[in-house]
Amino acid sequence: MATSIYAKVIALKVDRLGASIGLDNDPSIGPKGNEFRLELEHANYNALYSLALAAAANRWPLLIRIAGDGQIDPGVEAVIKSLAVGWRAGAVDND
């Protein structure tokens, strides 16, 4: 398994603890519930949420890199470390 995933946003949910981002990837390679958690306490929460929203609205592929040393595990919730968008083919490196 990898520490990042690159796909288009299909769901963006916000609650009092932060936001969850769902991608159109194969659920067997995604985290628990196939949603990535953006915590409200993240130092760049507003910028990352805005980038995820722009990616969803424009159907841009989004690269999500998870926090911690572990890899994406279908049985474990994944917390977002960083997000990236590439506007041309091959612009974003995917582990």
Q: pTM for the full model?
A: 0.87
In a domain, 55, yes or no: yes
Q: How would you write the pLDDT of the chain (95 residues) with one tens digit per residue?
A: 689 999 999 999 999 999 999 999 999 999 999 999 999 999 999 999 999 999 999 999 999 999 998 999 999 999 999 999 977 655 555 54
In a domain, 72, yes or no: yes
Backbone angles phi, psi at 74, to 5 degrees: -60, -15
In a domain, 36, yes or no: yes
Look at the chain and report how many structural domains it folds into.
1
CATH number reported for the structural domain that contains residue 60 in this entry: 2.40.50
What does the pLDDT read at residue 16?
96
Q: What gap in Å lies between CA 47 and CA 29, rounded to an integer?
A: 26
Q: State the residue range of the domain holding 22.
A: 4-85
Q: What gap in Å lies between CA 22 and CA 89, rounded to an integer?
A: 22
